[in-house]
Amino acid sequence: MERVALITGGARGIGRGIALDLAGHGWTVAICYRTSQQEAEEVTRTIEGQGGQALAIQCDVSDPTAAAQLVQHVEGTWGRIDALINGAGPYHRVPLFEETVEGWSEMFTNNLHPIFYLAKAVAPGMKARKSGRIISFSMANADKMEAQPHVTAHYIAKAGVLVLTRTLAKLLASDGITVNAISPGFIDSGSAPPGELDGVAKKIPAGYIGEVDDTVQAVRYFLSDEARYVTGANLHVSGGWGI
């Protein structure tokens, strides 16, 4: 049976890794990007070159109307969405009292709100089929509710992702839909600012920085039949950092 995944932020980093992995396992993949057109087209070319089906769609999922139209586009093209993977989520580091109103708002607008918009849009189709998977990304220590003077808004948004994940899980469980979160620690995905990962390994109990494939494997588990009874979970992929 054809399975269709919609991956936001699928042009680069972890989202790209997920897209290529799922395509390699027979999934049809739609990726959404906001500005990374060249990278998105490279992902689709790679998938199609390997005999898979892929679609790259430019969309700002922080816009609720655009998010709904994105889901309609994918469902109109392939008739279904079996998995929604919320991979988009920018961040910036700035001391709290130097944060701007725009910067504060951006963290919630891009990290938290789209998960609600997209879940609301994909839920009817998943309910009708009594099957579906929704996976979102938090961060490895967001469940500790610690003070975060330099990434305050981003951290609060990622804590909100966990609350939203559990709420969606409870609401959609009776329809055969699972909703889970993955909380990466330090992952060498190419998205960190230059120098940020330097010296980080010594802070990680496992002793090394994670790779994109570590996160991909977590996604694969949540999409598997083995995880059919797992919902509302938050899986740390951090080598012990943040726990």
Beta bridge pairs of residue 132: 177
The CA distance from 17 to 190, in Å, is 11
CATH architecture designation of domain 4-237 = 3-Layer(aba) Sandwich (3.40)
Looking at the annotation, which residues are catalytic? 155
Q: Average of pLDDT values for 102-120?
A: 97
- The 10s digit of each residue's pLDDT in 204-228 is 999 999 999 999 999 999 999 999 9
Predicted confidence at residue 2, as pLDDT, reads 85
Is residue 143 classed exposed, middle or buried when 0-12, 13-18 and 19+ CB atoms within 10 A define those classes?
middle
pLDDT at position 198 over 80: no
Q: Count CB neighbours of 48 within 10 A.
A: 13
Tell me how far apart the alpha carbons of residues 155 and 145 are, in angstroms, rounded to a whole number.
8
Give the model's pLDDT for residue 1. 62
DSSP per-residue letters across 101-146: HHHHHHHHHHHTHHHHHHHHHHHHHHHHHT-EEEEEE--TTGGG--
| Structural domain boundaries in the chain | 4-237
In the predicted structure, residue 235 carries a pLDDT above the cut 90 = yes
